[in-house]
A and B are shown apart, each in its own frame.
Chain A
Amino acid sequence: MDRYVCTICGYVYDPEQGDPDNGVAAGTKFEDLPDDWECPVCGAAKSEFEKEE
């Protein structure tokens, strides 16, 4: 599963971890995050993320 990096603040979304503080279970692919999911660090929109090289 691909990890995605927030281009605004550098936070890395790791699907293995998910984002449990915001109701996203471990194992959730980035593509499956809801459209209104935001970067838990800086609040950037999902569209501001890029796949980690």
Chain B
Amino acid sequence: MKPVEIAKGIYDVGVNDWNIQDFHGYSTPLGTSYNAFLIVDEKVALVDTVKKPFTDQLIANIQQVIDPQKIDYMISNHTEMDHSGSLARVMHRIGADKPVYCSKMGHKNLSLHFSQPLNYQPVGDGQELKLGRRTLAFLETRMLHWPDSMFTYIKEDEILLSSDAFGQHYAGFEKFDDVVGDAIMPHAKKYFANILLPYAPLILKLVDKVTQMGLPLRMICPDHGILWRTEPGKIIEAYVRWSKQQPKRKAVVVYDTMWHSTERMADAVAAGLYAEGVAVRPMYLRKWHRSDVLTEVLDAKAVVVGSPTLNNGLFPTVSDFLTYMKGLKPQGKIGAAFGSYGWSGEAPKLVAKELAAMQFEVMDPVRHQYVPDTPALEESYAFGRAIGRRICDEVAD
């Protein structure tokens, strides 16, 4: 990628990772980008780096704008290695003793990533750094989504460099919202559902804080994907909506199956939900990635989980999914479980127990021995309808 001048004297010198398909367990069919920002003023600052294998590309991009040794300040908004992986080599290239500005937690966490001592300059919330004509202001955003996370705001240009917040896993030459259009929103939603959801209450607090500060925002530039230059308010509004987790009349039926029996139950449960006016799509866990399922869970009211019983326990993919969902802490859901079994049939109850531990309102599970016949499928259908009625009672049309 060539550097993209996003405003006069401010460049995205990041890189595209076209072929990454699995980003620490999150499926990324369109790859991702690691955005890094070079601000050329009387003093020159580089905000974030890229994943380690892309270091040469980052340095080549910087060189197209300026001699890397002219960089005066390194700023690390986030310690995670897709943004810090190149830090040691970049420092070697620009001057190992140059200051590295980061949050207090960033100082602690970067030190736990890199053994060589760097000239860390921890900054507090609201602290500023003058570059010449421009002023950078640092905004701590702890746990959005790591303890070290912070934003860097370029005051005169009204540009927010927002680290991972507002990002999307998307690699493309198209670098702006107006170029890529609404097609980017599902990727932003998936990012939110899989990375930021556990911290939804903090996001609402942060949006309130930024609103009260009255920061004008001309552009929001995350560290992944496209930059929001046309309607930065749109992604903030979406974050508020997603953070509030107001559900639709929607359910997710997610299952695995060994001999198609739990699958047939899943289809019947989904048909029952649909009959009550609930949007639903059965998702088979060996075809749908857990991160795609979670994206659907975000605005669903009910999560209905089907598991065969394997050796007295849950089917492994179902355990995987439940563990993943538990960590992301979705709020305000109805939970339900079902499944076919051979002889012991523990799985639906075990699923229900897990869902209850996630503070879901859990309905009594339905199970069937071996292959579901017509009455059994009718029972599954009725189960779907009962869940559907409960959704419609709780969610306005």
Contact = CB atoms under 8 A, between A and B. Distances in A.
A42 interface: yes
B105 A8 contact: no
A43 B102 CA distance: 14
Contacts of A44: 142-143
Interface in A1-53: 8-9, 41-44
Interface in B351-396: none
Contacts of B104: 43
B202 interface: yes
Interface string B194-216: 00000100100000000000000
Interface string B125-163: 000000000000000101100010000000000000000
A9 B147 CA distance: 8
Contacts of A42: 105, 142-143, 147
B296 to A, nearest CB: 26
B115 to A, nearest CB: 20
Contacts of B143: 8-9, 42, 44
A1 to B, nearest CB: 26
A8 B202 CA distance: 9
A41 B142 CA distance: 10
Nearest to B140: A43
Contacts of B142: 8, 42-44
Contacts of A9: 143, 147
Contacts of A43: 104-105, 140, 142, 147
Interface in B98-112: 104-105
A46 to B, nearest CB: 14
A41 B104 CA distance: 11
A39 to B, nearest CB: 8
B208 to A, nearest CB: 16
A36 to B, nearest CB: 13
A42 B147 CA distance: 4
Contacts of A41: 147
A8 B105 CA distance: 15
A44 B202 CA distance: 11
B378 to A, nearest CB: 41
Nearest to B147: A42
Interface string B9-42: 0000000000000000000000000000000000
A43 B199 CA distance: 14
A41 B105 CA distance: 8
A4 to B, nearest CB: 17
18 contacts: A8-B142, A8-B143, A8-B199, A8-B202, A9-B143, A9-B147, A41-B147, A42-B105, A42-B142, A42-B143, A42-B147, A43-B104, A43-B105, A43-B140, A43-B142, A43-B147, A44-B142, A44-B143
Given A8-B202, A42-B105, A42-B147, 15 more contacts: A8-B142, A8-B143, A8-B199, A9-B143, A9-B147, A41-B147, A42-B142, A42-B143, A43-B104, A43-B105, A43-B140, A43-B142, A43-B147, A44-B142, A44-B143
